[in-house]
Chain A
Amino acid sequence: GENVEQHPSTLSVQEGDSAVIKCTYSDSASNYFPWYKQELGKGPQLIIDIRSNVGEKKDQRIAVTLNKTAKHFSLHITETQPEDSAVYFCAGKKGNTPLVFGKGTRLSVIA
């Protein structure tokens, strides 16, 4: 089945800097890749997703890139703010198979 690896496990950046989180997946047939933000005591919140028919998607300060050949995708957050501090999860799936999550990245934005 699908396996999703996520790096780094922790990331600290200065406020205003960019943050990049990377994920790799094992199943070349996977075609849907969402990113979730999870704050303490809350459930995961969908922040952006990408399907395999596009290579990049952007929403204000957040962007996701997908490289199908290399089977990896990345989350880019620009102009980071303290409220971006949270745990971020990538995930992948194909068709109606279950969503498989990475182990998460704890992002700390230092003011």
Chain B
Amino acid sequence: EAGVAQSPRYKIIEKRQSVAFWCNPISGHATLYWYQQILGQGPKLLIQFQNNGVVDDSQLPKDRFSAERLKGVDSTLKIQPAKLEDSAVYLCASSLPGGQPQHFGDGTRLSIL
């Protein structure tokens, strides 16, 4: 089966610009997650969707980050405006519902100049 697809793979922007990332989960996976992975650390959850509804966004910096999953399949994560500390890899993961294992995409590496 095809894995989690993410694009772009790399993005370089200047601070205060905006950026968007796209994720297509594994077919049939109702649960979708966005993680931020700062260099040298483990992934940290930003937001979790169940179908097109938000389950947990307690760690999402809502003043600058937003995410949507309008049709319960693909998802986009946006940062506006970007700060230097947003430099990280943004990972998308998906799973079947009910606490099933999460499968990750290869992420988008974001560099802020």
Residue tally, chain B, CB below 8 Å to A:
21
Contact with B101, one of A49, A96, A101, A102 (Cβ below 8 angstroms): A49
B26 at the interface (CB under 8 A from A): no
Of chain A, the residue at the smallest CB distance from B104 is A43
A89 to chain B, nearest CB (A): 5
Most chain B Cβ neighbours within 10 Å, of A36, A43, A46, A99: A43
**A-chain residues with CB within 8 Å of residue B59 when the two chains form the complex:** 98
* Chain B facing A: main interface SS: loop
- Count the A-B residue pairs with Cβ separation under 8 angstroms: how many? 46
B96 at the interface (CB under 8 A from A): no
B61 at the interface (CB under 8 A from A): no
Of chain B, the residue at the smallest CB distance from A44 is B104
**A-chain residues with CB within 8 Å of residue B44 when the two chains form the complex:** 101
Known: A42-B106, A98-B56. A103 touches B101 (CB 8 A): no
A44 to B33, CA, bound (A): 13
Of chain A, the residue at the smallest CB distance from B47 is A98
As a 0/1 sequence over residues 94 to 109 of chain A, the CB contacts with chain B under 8 angstroms (1 = contact) are 0110110111100000
Contact with A89, one of B42, B93, B106 (Cβ below 8 angstroms): B42
**A-chain residues with CB within 8 Å of residue B107 when the two chains form the complex:** 43
**B-chain residues with CB within 8 Å of residue A102 when the two chains form the complex:** 42
A96 to B43, CA, bound (A): 17
Contact, CB under 8 Å: A98 / B48: yes
Interface hits, A81-97 → B, CB 8 Å: 89, 91, 93, 95-96
A106 to B71, CA, bound (A): 39
A67 at the interface (CB under 8 A from B): no
B48 to chain A, nearest CB (A): 7
A45 at the interface (CB under 8 A from B): yes
A96 to chain B, nearest CB (A): 7
Contact, CB under 8 Å: A96 / B104: no
